[in-house]
Amino acid sequence: MALMLDDALLSSILDEVRPLARLGKVADYIPALAEVAGDKLGIAVCTVDGDCFAAGDAHERFSIQSVSKVLSLVLAMGRYDEAEIWQRVGKDPSGQPFNSLVQLELEQGKPRNPFINAGALVICDMLQTRLSAPRQRMLEWVRQLSGVEDISYDTRVARSEFEHAARNAAIAWLMKSFGNFHNDVTTVLQNYFHYCALKMSCAELAKTFLFLARQGRAPHLAEPVISPLQTRQVNALMATSGMYENAGEFAWRVGMPGKSGVGGGIVAVVPHEMSIAVWSPALDNAGNSLAGVAALEILAQKIGRSVY
């Protein structure tokens, strides 16, 4: 029998997974991420009925990192025709680490999907082409989606990422060599790192991504964010490519479309029912939050939800 969803349930799940946080490793390639306390742990759920539940550090903001790749994709889906996007980036799992150039070279500069670094950089390149102020636009839009006015970039993180940009610069230049990158590399990298440096809490993330559980509609916005069909498509992409190399393992254990970031955040969606955000900075080998994945797995079992 599935349990009732409430704050107490979320809290008990956090208690169960807390020991795992000690086994993972906080991302340390930039100081601003390395100094985050490894024992932070939070979770928030928003249902399509309008309820929101939270536990732990659900209201503390952190660097959402690659979770922003979903946001930039959805932003691009509103600015480009479907064919324009998918001729420049694929829809399939890569089977490779998120920042590898091997496949990108073999496949002539077309990234496998928009949720690996190469793919997200192409999307940012497209946004740079069509938006007059891509960073400002993203910020306004995320504030709108979340309903929170003071969401902002952690400029220290963005600057720090840019100082460690070598691998992403290599990816961008490699795509440029194949004609699949049109704008100035430095400019687009700056945008990309700012998107990664969005600071949001679990509660804000769950609210922001609720439209993916509501066929593309945010409850407080008159206009749909994307169409129902596009919503299914984004969820499908998250399900097959949202967890770096571990999409299959995550589907197996959790059974929900999800997207993780190296800041330790994961957003997951139960279509027609709820959006979930979890945060624990210690990562597993694939770069996903160790306690975060476990929390989602237990939640899925306790409330009896899986898309499969």
Question: Which candidate in 63, 66, 72, 160 is catalytic?
Answer: 66
- Asked if 137 touches a copy of itself (CB under 8 A), the answer is no
262 annotated ligand-binding residue: yes
Instruction: Check the annotation: does 161 bind a ligand.
Output: yes
In the bound complex, what is the minimum distance in angstroms from residue 177's beta carbon to a copy of itself? 4
Active site (annotated) includes residue 207:
no
275 binds a copy of itself (CB under 8 A): no
10 Å CB burial of residue 247 (0-12, 13-18, 19+) is: buried
Kind and range of the H or E element at 53? strand 52-56
Cα–Cα distance for residue pair 8/129, rounded to 1 Å: 47
Q: Which H or E run includes 52?
A: strand 52-56
- The DSSP symbol for 89 reads S
Site for a copy of itself (CB under 8 A): which residue of 173, 184, 221, 227?
173
Question: How many Cα atoms occupy the beta-carbon half-sphere of 252 within 13 Å?
Answer: 4
Quick one: 158 or 172, whose CB is closer to a copy of itself? Answer: 172
Query: What gap in Å lies between CA 30 and CA 45, rounded to an integer?
Result: 30
**Is the Cβ–Cβ distance between 58 and 40 less than 8 Å?**
no
The region of 49-57, 143-151, 152-160, 300-308 touching a copy of itself under the rule CB under 8 A is: 300-308
Cβ atoms 293, 266 nearer than 8 A? yes
Q: For residue 92, state whether it binds a copy of itself (rule: CB under 8 A).
A: yes
Q: How far is the CB of 130 from a copy of itself (least distance, A)?
A: 22
**Residues designated as active site:** 66, 69, 192, 244, 262
Give contact residues for a copy of itself (rule: CB under 8 A).
90-96, 100-103, 105-106, 112-113, 166-167, 169-174, 176-177, 181, 185, 231-233, 235-237, 239-241, 245-249, 251-252, 255, 257, 271, 306-308
